[in-house]
Amino acid sequence: MSEEQQPPVYETAAPAPAVVHVEKCGGSGWKWFWIVCGVCFIVSILAAALVGYGMMTRMTDLLKDPNFQTKRANAYQVDETLQFTEVLMKEGRSTADKVLMIPVQGVIMDAGSPYVEGIQLSSFKGQLKKAGKDSDVIAVVLKIDSPGGDAFLCDLMADAIREFQEQYKKPVISWIESMGASGGYYISAPCQWIVAHEMSLTGSIGVISSSVNYRGLMDKVGVKPVVYKSGKFKDMLRGSKAPDEILPEEQAMMQGLIDKMYLRFKNVVRNGRGPEARKEVENARPLADNWESFADGRILMGSEAYDAGLVDELGSEEEVMAAVARLTKGEGRPQVIRYESPMDWRGILKFFAQSHTPGVVKVELNGLNINGSSVMEPGKLYFLPPGE
């Protein structure tokens, strides 16, 4: 074919590049962010208004009360039971009878302690008071999972349990779960009945107090303490003392305090578990003749504590509820309830004030911080297991 007969060649225009529409990211995200912020702001304003209204109403009522000054002078007598709300935990066959369950978990220390989340004594006593006044509550169960704690606080809780049983004639049953040692057992001893699992850790009857002496470290870095005091014993347990500055009288006084508190611990067990205190309790397990030989600080398993007469029964929840029925002469299965305190402005502030350090793992054992810092404050006496 000649060149003249060849078909013409037409040039084709290159296709136009595709237009890519890039949407701006985050437009709707920011919108929702500001919406959420606005909602949170409105909710916080409403919460603050409610709290303020409640405080103003309460203050107005107090000012109108002719006995305001008397109540103000004796604020401890304010009825703590008003702050609790009843919450149903387990349905029962009997709707008239109720059993109050009070958890005692973690280290027994004041709730304001900087070391651990403690147990508020006023809350504990307030719950007992509310249960005592409620005719439908037939018994109280302490659900214990604690290694103990502050000796003073444990003693006050034990007193509250004794007073409750004497005043309202309602039994308190101690239910020791995984651990009810030292202070955990201290508050169990006055109870009418103690149930523990055979693998529970309990006992550890004893007292401990400790401090840290860091004078050797100070000497290494060339730091010397300068102390002014009003008496030679005013700086007892001072950690910057040299060993030769620790007076024998100091050691004797501290040991004397330990011995007195230890004697009190054994008396609490003897008076709470003795035949005189439990003569009306059916099938009460008596203390073994050699029970004091186990009161040397050692931790006991539930089965060992049972043999020593330190607990009445081995079992779990089923045995606890059966004990309630026996002690109250009740029929059927009662409801199980707990008391809940509504969150007030202090709880809200505490919630928002919590901070967490990234990269730090907080390790605790039954409420005890084991990251190197001790739960024990120097100079205080504690009911705690060995090694704490």
Residue 31 known to be catalytic: no
Q: What is the DSSP letter of 272?
A: H
Closest CA to 137 of 383, 347, 317, 324: 324
**Listed residue (384, 383, 334, 341) closest to 171, CA to CA:** 334
Distances (CA, A) of 365 to 83, 210, 256: 31, 19, 30
Helix (H) or strand (E) run with residue 353 in it: helix 345-353
Distances (CA, A) of 282 to 88, 96, 143, 166, 286: 29, 24, 22, 17, 11
Question: Catalytic site residue 182?
Answer: yes
Q: What are phi and psi of 351, to 5 degrees?
A: -65, -45
Residue 163's Cβ-side half-sphere holds a number of Cα atoms within 13 Å equal to 11
Given the residues 31, 133, 234, 260, the one annotated as active site: 234
Structure tokens at 110: 């004041």
How far, in Å, CA of 26 to CA of 37, rounded? Answer: 16
Token pair for 107 = 């280290």
- The residue from 146, 174, 182, 209 that is catalytic is 182
Alpha-carbon distance of 58 to 276, in angstroms, equals 47
d(CA 347, CA 356): 18
Buried b (16+ CB within 10 A) or exposed e, 322-358: ebbbebeebeebbbbbbbeeeeeeeeeeeeeeeeeee
Catalytic residue IDs = 182, 234
